[in-house]
Amino acid sequence: MLNLFKIAVRNLLRYKRRTLLTASLISLGVVFVLLFVSVTGSFKSMMIGQMTDSMLGHLQVHRKGYLAAIDNLPLNLNLKTPSYRKLEKILSQRPEVESYSPRIKFGGMFSTFVETTNIRLNGVYPDLELKTVPLLASRVTDGADDGTLNKGEIWVPELMAKSMKLSVGDTVVIVATNQDGSVNGKQFGVSGVLESVTGPGGRDGYIHIEDAMDVLRMSEMEVSEIAIRLKDFGRLHAFTEDLSALLAGERNNQGKPLFEVHNWESLSPFYNIARLIDIMTFFIKLMLIAVVLISIMNVMIMAVYERIREIGTIAAIGTLPGKILSLFVLEGLSLGFLGVVTGNILGYFIIAVLNASKISFNFGRQTGLVLSANIDWMDMLTISVIVILISVVASLQPALKASKMDPINALRHV
């Protein structure tokens, strides 16, 4: 049996060392890209998961203008009951929504009877909140009894608990000024200490939403934000667009839009880091392309040059130019393929070893996050396809030169 592919492979084996060196260069490139892509990719999704599942939710709806003023936690920009009911109705009809959680956010004074400081608080329905941001429960480090937040209880941020020497069971007072300027206070029992997380709201305390209404003397419920969790995070962008379009139709009395929708990307500064990682990945892939292109082109130019007389011979005995072209393209392709296959296998094992050795790292105030690099098969496939395509492109020019060679000149070549 004799065919083009076999001849191409035999020609590659002719200079074993050169083939080996070039293939290892490509393999190394593939390994490096795979490692980078999977480590950063896993880091990214882990960080996004941390952020969305422990605090932000996948997306949030506010009254129009709230987010711009969020640093002041403006009570006058809360959603009033009718708006909230409207929104609730819409959300409960969407099949994509796993759960949603209304929050009343406000700032107040926090006193232990010995010391007083400022605090930012979220009033939530504990069951809805825990469904919407499931990792919140795991942030409660020093938890009390049942792990939930009952009325009259407060979850205090870790830093505050430390500096004010608070522990579970202590009594504190929250004092807040409401929209009308009247001041009210209420006693709470500390039932949990919350680990901080990076990002906005990562150091807020939590109380029951009805307590929040109490402190702020709300007769009817007003909501600062609604956090939403989707069943499928992959549908985030589509759903964000759908919901925005749907809510854009909801206007107030002056005909201005009532709601604003933001997903985690516009809520968390980590999004920029995630973007940066994507850009770096792109450049590293570009580098791989350059490595493959140059090394294969180099080998194929050499191969054509060394074999001019052979090319002359096969052309003279009637091999059509197209076949000569395929012969050299196949040779470059096989070289790229060899590099890709070994690179993928090597990359897979290195990543497996990396995962097995459980390397941990810190991010912001979070320590001991274990690095788990997942190989995305799609990534592996894309990288392989890119390398193989580039191998073909790189061998095309030398192969074309070979196929267009004049047999007489080629045969006379010394």
Partner 1 sequence: MMALVRAENITKIYGAVTARSKEDVTSGAVATRALNAVSFEIEPSSFVSFVGPSGSGKTTLLNLIGCLDKPTEGKLEVAGVDVLHLSMRQSASFRGNNLGFIFQDFNLIPVLTVHENVEYPLLMVQNVPGGQRRERIFAMLEAVGMVDQKDKYPDQLSGGQKQRVAIARALVANPKLVLADEPTANLDHKTAFLVLSFMKKLRDELETTFIFSTHDQKIVGEAEIIYSLEDGELTGKQVKAGKENA
Q: Which residues bind partner 1 (CB under 8 A)?
A: 2-4, 7, 10-11, 13-14, 309-310, 312-321, 323, 407-408, 411
C-beta closer to partner 1: residue 257 or 407: 407
41 vs 377: CA distance, rounded Å: 12
3-state secondary structure of 198: coil
Q: Pick between residue 168 and residue 315 the one whose CB is nearest to partner 1.
A: 315
Q: Which residue's CB is nearer to partner 1, number 55 or number 330?
A: 330
What is the separation of C-alpha 172 from the centre of its chain, rounded to a whole number of angstroms? 39
Q: How far is the CB of 300 from partner 1 (least distance, A)?
A: 16
Hey, which residues does 155 pair with through a beta bridge? Answer: 192, 206
| 6 vs 217 by CB, closer to partner 1 | 6
Closest to partner 1 by CB, 15 vs 36, is 15
Query: Do residues 57 and 132 lie in contact, with contact meaning Cβ atoms separated by under 8 Å?
Result: yes
Query: In a 3-state reduction of DSSP, which class is residue 363?
Result: strand
Angle at alpha carbon of residue 152, lines to 150 and 158, rounded to 5°:
80
312 near 407, Cβ under 8 Å? yes
The nearest distance, CB 26 to partner 1, in angstroms, is 22
Residue nearer to partner 1 on the CB measure, 5 or 348: 5
Tokens coding 194: 């919350």
What totals of helices (H) and strands (E) does the chain contain, helices first? 14, 11
How far is it, in rounded angstroms, from Cα 28 to Cα 26?
Answer: 5
Cα angle, residue 246 at apex, residues 85 and 125 outer, rounded to 5°:
35
**Shortest approach of partner 1 to residue 347 CB, angstroms?**
31
Q: How far is the CB of 319 from partner 1 (least distance, A)?
A: 6
Query: What pairs with residue 227 in β-bridges?
Result: 60, 101
Q: How far is the CB of 338 from partner 1 (least distance, A)?
A: 17
Secondary element (H or E) of residue 243: helix 236-248
Minimum distance from CB of 14 to partner 1 (Å)? 6
